[in-house]
Structure 1
Amino acid sequence: MKLLKFVLAALATLGFTSATAQTMEPVPDRAAGDGEGPYETLIISGATMIEGSGAPPMGPVDIVVEGNRIAAIHGGGAPADVRARADRIVDASGMTVMPGFVDTHGHNGDPSKAAQPSYGYKLWLAHGVTSVRGVSFYFGPGQPDLTDTQRSRNNTIAAPRLFPYAVFGDKWGRDYPATPAAAREWVRWAKAQGFWGIKFFNNLSPEMLAATLDEAEKQGLGTVAHLAQPGVQRVNAAKAVELGMDGITHFYGHFESLLDDNALPTYPKGYNYYDEQSRFGWVARLADQVVEPGSEEWDAYIDHLVESGVTLSPTFNIYSASRDVMAAKNRDWHARYTLPSLMDFYAPSATNHGSYYKDWSTEDEVAWRKFYRYWFDLTKEFHRRGGRVTAGSDPGYIYQTWGFAYIGELEMLREAGLQPLEVIRAATVAGAEEIYQARGETPPMGTIQVGKLADLVIVPGNPLDNLKLLYGTGHTKLNYETGEIEQVGGVRWTIKDGIVYDAPALLESVAAMVEAQRAN
C-alpha cells in the first residue's frame, strides 16, 4: 500500500486520476464484424502510395500482402496471375495508402471517463492509428496493460498494436524505490514483466534519475519524461538529456532551460500548482521569461537537444483548447462520438485534470497563442536541424477525444512548420523508430516496404493536400459541379497485421456506445 499511496499522491500532484479505485471493463473479444483477415493473399489495388520515409507520392500501385506482411509492391498493377490468386482485392482507386499511424502518447485507463477500453481502441483504429505507445495505458498495479498488449498481438481484440510503458515506481505493488539500487531493481522488474519502457514525471533527484536511466539503457527499455514543474528546478530538459533521457513529451522543461534573467521561473503572487486554473494560466506566461527565438542561447539549446539524440513528442493538440476553449468544446465530433461521461469530465471542474477553464479569459487565450508561437518555433527548428519529432495525442483530456485528437496533432505539426510529407513521416516511421530505438532494432512497421508488417491506412483523396481528410467526420467541401455541400474523406480502411478494418463501421460501433450511454 505504501507504493500505491505514493504513486497516487505523485500522480495527483500532476493532476492525474487513477483507475485503481474503480475497475475498467474487460475488452471483449474481437467480433466477427471487427476486421476481416488476415488473408493468404490480399491486394490493395490502384492507390497512390506515400511510403512513409519522406519519399514523394507514387502510383497507382498494387500492394500485395501475404498473411501479415507486405510481399510485393507493383507499380501500375500486379501481374494477372497474382491478382487471380488473391483472396481479396481492396479497390483503392483514387485513394492514398500510407503506413499505419503511430501514436507515441496514449492513455486508456479511467473508468469515470470511458470504462470500456475498446472505445479508445476503435477510435484510434478508425483514424488509421495501428500502433500506440501507452505512457501508461493504465495507472496503478493490477491493470491490464500487459494483457491488452498480448491480446492485441494475438489479434483477439480490435485494437492497435500496443507498446506499454510503466510510470517509474508504479505497477509492482511494493514500496516506491528510494535508493539507486532499488530504482535499478524496479527497472529490471519492469523489463521482466514485459514493459517496453518507462515514463517519468520528474519526481526523482538527478542521482536517482541517472541510475534509473543507466539501468534502463542496459535493459533495452525506452524512456520518456513529462518534466513537471514540481521537479523542474532539479531536472529541466537540458539536464534530462544530459543524463540520458530518450524522449521529452509536452513542453515541460524546455522553457525552464531557456530562462533569460533568472535561474528559476518567477511565479506570480498567489500561485498554487494544485489549482489548475493557476497552473495552466501561468505556464503560458513563461514565454515572457525566456530568451528570444533565434538568439544565441536559443540556438545553443536546440543544438544541445539535437546532439543528445533526444526525441520530441510535443503533443501540441492536448493544450490547444487553451487558445480557444469555446471552439474546442464544440468540435464536429463531440455530439456523435464523444461519450457523455467524457463531456462531463471535460467541463470546468475543481478536481478533474485538464478541466481548468473555470474563469478562462481572453488574456489567458492570448498568452497561450504567444506561448505556442515559441513552442512551434522550437520544435520546427529542432526538426530542421535533424532532430526527430513524433506524433502523440495524449487523449482523454481537455476536449481531446481518441483518434480525432491524433489527427489534430498532425494538423498542429503542420502549423508548427513541418511540411506535409514531414508530418506523415513524424506520424509513421519516426514514431516506430522511437519505440524500437532502445532495443537497438529496426522497426517492423512505419514504412511501406516488402517484408514490413502490413499496417496500412487508406483514405479517399490526398491528405498531403488537406490533412482534414483524415478526420472520422471528414471534410466539408462544395461540389462545384452539383452545387451541393458534401462531406468528403475520412479513413476508409485501416489494416493492422493484415486484418482489414472498415473504418466507418468502427465509427458506427463507437456511435452506438455513445447512444447507449446517453440512453442510460
Structure 2
Amino acid sequence: MTTLPRIAAFLAAATFLAAGLPATAQPPAKAAEAVLYTHATLIDGTGAAARQDQDILVRGERIQAVGPSGTLDAARTGGARTVDLSGRHVMPGLIDSHVHLATPPNRGRAEAMLRRQLYGGVTAVRDMADDLRAVGELSRASLAGEIPAPDIFYAALMAGPSFFEDPRVLAVSLGKTPGTAPWMQAIDDKTDLRTAVTLAKGTSATAIKIYANLPAGLIAGITQEAHRQGMMIWAHSAVFPTWPADVIAAGPDSLSHVCYLAYQTQPAMLPAYEDRTPVDERRLAASGDDPVMAKLFGAMLERGAVLDATGSLFVLFEEERRNNPAAKPLRCTGPTTTRLTRQAWQAGVPISAGTDFVHKPDDPWPALFDELHFLQHDVGMPPLEVIRAATLIGARAAGQEKEMGSIEPGKLANFIVLTADPLQDIDHVRSIETTVKRGRAYRRADYRPVTKAEMGGRDED
C-alpha cells in the first residue's frame, strides 16, 4: 500500500473509532431514513406538562424537529415515512443509572439482560464497574446494532488496597494481579494519580467509580485529577472509612445508595466496606426531616451532585426478609430508605433511577420498573417527576444530557411509545408498544423473553 492510500485508510478508521464504531462497521442501510411520528401526546422529559397532538421528525439517529401536528416544515418532512401515534403517549427512553453487566463476565447472560431492558423501554444504562473488557465489547456491539441493547456508559473502579481481597475482584480481573487492572485499581498514598486516571481513561470509561476503603484526601485527589482529564466521578455515598460529608465535599458528579448517607448520623464511621454493620436508625430524627441529612442534601445541591438512590433494592429486600427473618439485613431497612429518598427529593436533590439488581428470567420487565414504582408509590414523587428522574436526570448522571434524556431537536431519537398514560400511574410504562433507540424501532411484540438457560443464575449485586 502506498503512503497516501495508507493515510486515507488510517483517517477513515480513526473517524469510525472516534464515533464509537469499529473500523469495519458500516452505517445501517437506512441511517438517513426520515420518519414522521404524528399525533402523539408528548411528555418530553424536561418536567414540562404533556403536549397533545404533537409530531416528531426523526432522520437517521436524531430528532430533527418537534411541533404541533401539521406545523413542521413540509420541505423537511417531504418523503418521510409516517407513523400515526393517535391515542399514544410518547416519552424519552428510560435510563437505568445503576447496573452490573459483567461480574463475572457472561456474554449470553448480559445480552439477555440488555435485550429485556431495550424491549422494555430502556435506551441507556450506567454500568457501575465490572470487567470492562467484556462491557466495552457489549457497548461496541450495541452501538454497531449487532445486538438489541441500550447504550452503555461505564466506570473504572478505584478503591483502597484492602478491598482487593473481595472475591468479585478476581472474577473481573482474570489474568491480572488484583488491584493492577486499569479498570480496577488499588489506590494508596504512593499511587501516581495522574497515571492511574490516565490508565482508567484508556479503557474508554466515562467515569471512575470511587468504591471503598479510601481516606478523604485520596478521594479528593482522585476526583480532582479525573475532572482535569475529563472523566466523571461516580462514588458510593460513603467510602468507608470516609464520612459521607467528606465524600460530598470532594465533588463527585453522582453518589450511589441513599442509605449509605445515613452513616453520617452514627457516632463512629465503619473502618472498612467489609464491615456490614447496619445503620442504627434510632439515631435519625424520630419524625420529620433529619437535620444531619438536611445538611448533606444541602451540600449535594450546592455541588450539583446527582443521587442514585437505588431505593427499590432495599424495599424489595425488606419484603423478602419478612418471609425469611433469618436473612442477613441490608445496611438500611426499606422504610428508612424510603424516608431518606423522600427527604432528598423534597430538598431538591436531583434523583436518578438506578436499580443494582436483576429480575429473575421469568419476569418480562426490566428491574427499572420497580424503581419507578418505588419513586411514585413509596416516595410520593408525581409521575412527571419520576419520568424526569428516569430520563433527563439519568442522562445527566451518565454525562449524556446533551445527547439524550429528553425529546428535543438535535438529540438522539430515543423514546418509547405507550398505549396508556404514564402520568396517571407510572406503572403504565408496562403498556409499551415500541422502543425507538437511535432512530431504530423495536416493537414490543417482537420481544423474545429471557430464558433460564440464558441467565444461568444471578450475580451478587
Structure-1-length-normalised TM-score? 0.70
TM-align CA RMSD: 3.4
Partner in structure 2 of residue 18 of structure 1 = none
State the alpha-carbon separation in 2 of the partners of residues 246 and 398 from structure 1: 31
Residue 408 of structure 2 is aligned to residue 449 of structure 1: yes
Partner in structure 2 of residue 27 of structure 1 = none
Partner in structure 2 of residue 202 of structure 1 = 212
Q: Is the 8 A contact 1:48 1:58 kept in 2?
A: yes
Partner in structure 2 of residue 255 of structure 1 = 262
Greater RCO (Cα-Cα under 8 Å, separation 6 or more):
1
Residue 281 of structure 2 is aligned to residue 287 of structure 1: yes
Query: 1:295–1:359: structure 2 CA closer, same or farther, 3 Å change rule?
Result: closer
Aligned residue pairs, count: 405
State the alpha-carbon separation in 2 of the partners of residues 119 and 249 from structure 1: 25
Query: What whole-Å deviation, never above 9, does each CA across 1:458-493 have from its counterpart, x for those lacking one?
Result: 11111111211223xxxxxxxxxxxxxxxxx2x111
The match for 1:164 among 128, 150, 154 is 154
The match for 1:378 among 335, 338, 343 is 343
Partner in structure 2 of residue 324 of structure 1 = 319
Task: Give the superposition deviation at 1:358.
Answer: 7.2
Residue 21 of structure 2 is aligned to residue 59 of structure 1: no
Residue 41 of structure 2 is aligned to residue 48 of structure 1: yes
Residues 113-192 of structure 1: pairs in structure 2 closer than 5 A: 115-136=108-129, 138-139=130-131, 143-168=133-158, 171-172=181-182, 176-179=186-189, 181-192=191-202
Task: Give the superposition deviation at 1:36.
Answer: 9.9
Among the aligned pairs, what percent are the same residue?
25
Q: What is the one-letter code of the residue matched to 2:284?
A: V
Residue 185 of structure 2 is aligned to residue 223 of structure 1: no
Query: What whole-Å deviation, never above 9, does each CA across 1:273-326 have from its counterpart, x for those lacking one?
Result: 869xxx4xx62x522123454354443332222212211010112222222118
Residues 235-384 of structure 1: pairs in structure 2 closer than 5 A: 235-259=242-266, 262-264=267-269, 279=276, 283=278, 286-292=280-286, 293-325=288-320, 359-360=326-327, 368-383=333-348
Residues 404-419 of structure 1: pairs in structure 2 closer than 5 A: 404-414=366-376, 415-419=378-382
SS in 2 for 1:53: coil
Q: What is the one-letter code of the residue matched to 2:399?
A: Y
Task: Give the superposition deviation at 1:45.
Answer: 2.0
Q: What is the one-letter code of the residue matched to 1:436?
A: G
Partner in structure 1 of residue 393 of structure 2 = 430
SS in 2 for 1:42: strand
* Contiguous gaps of at least 5 residues in structure 1: 1-34, 330-356, 472-488
Q: What is the one-letter code of the residue matched to 2:198?
A: R
Q: What is the one-letter code of the residue matched to 1:59?
A: Q
Q: Is the 8 A contact 1:238 1:305 kept in 2?
A: no
State the alpha-carbon separation in 2 of the partners of residues 174 and 110 from structure 1: 12
Q: What is the one-letter code of the residue matched to 2:263?
A: E
State the alpha-carbon separation in 1 of the partners of residues 363 and 225 from structure 2: 35
Task: Give the superposition deviation at 1:98.
Answer: 0.8
Q: Is the 8 A contact 1:202 1:225 kept in 2?
A: no
State the alpha-carbon separation in 1 of the partners of residues 197 and 412 from structure 2: 29
State the alpha-carbon separation in 2 of the partners of residues 323 and 257 from structure 1: 22
Task: Give the superposition deviation at 1:373.
Answer: 4.1
Task: Give the superposition deviation at 1:86.
Answer: 2.0
Residues 432-511 of structure 1: pairs in structure 2 closer than 5 A: 432-436=395-399, 443-471=402-430, 489=431, 491-506=432-447, 509-511=448-450
Q: What is the one-letter code of the residue matched to 1:453?
A: L
State the alpha-carbon separation in 2 of the partners of residues 434 and 273 from structure 1: 24
Query: What whole-Å deviation, never above 9, does each CA across 1:100-147 have from its counterpart, x for those lacking one?
Result: 1111111111469884321011111112111111112x33x6x32222
SS in 2 for 1:494: strand
Query: 1:195–1:360: structure 2 CA closer, same or farther, 3 Å change rule?
Result: closer
Task: Give the superposition deviation at 1:69.
Answer: 1.0
SS in 2 for 1:159: coil
Q: What is the one-letter code of the residue matched to 1:161?
A: D
Q: What is the one-letter code of the residue matched to 1:75?
A: P
* Contiguous gaps of at least 5 residues in structure 2: 1-27, 159-178, 457-461
SS in 2 for 1:463: coil
SS in 1 for 2:64: strand
Query: 1:452–1:369: structure 2 CA closer, same or farther, 3 Å change rule?
Result: closer
State the alpha-carbon separation in 1 of the partners of residues 108 and 35 from structure 2: 35
State the alpha-carbon separation in 1 of the partners of residues 218 and 115 from structure 2: 39
Q: What is the one-letter code of the residue matched to 1:97?
A: V
Query: 1:428–1:500: structure 2 CA closer, same or farther, 3 Å change rule?
Result: same
**Bigger shift: residues 388-397 or 107-116:** 107-116
Q: What is the one-letter code of the residue matched to 1:493?
A: T
Task: Give the superposition deviation at 1:180.
Answer: 5.4
Q: Is the 8 A contact 1:237 1:248 kept in 2?
A: no
**Bigger shift: residues 301-310 or 173-182:** 173-182
Query: 1:132–1:325: structure 2 CA closer, same or farther, 3 Å change rule?
Result: same
The match for 2:63 among 63, 70, 82 is 70
Structure-2-length-normalised TM-score? 0.78
State the alpha-carbon separation in 2 of the partners of residues 71 and 86 from structure 1: 12
State the alpha-carbon separation in 2 of the partners of residues 369 and 399 from structure 1: 24
State the alpha-carbon separation in 1 of the partners of residues 84 and 453 from structure 2: 32
State the alpha-carbon separation in 2 of the partners of residues 175 and 99 from structure 1: 35
Q: What is the one-letter code of the residue matched to 1:359?
A: A
SS in 1 for 2:336: helix
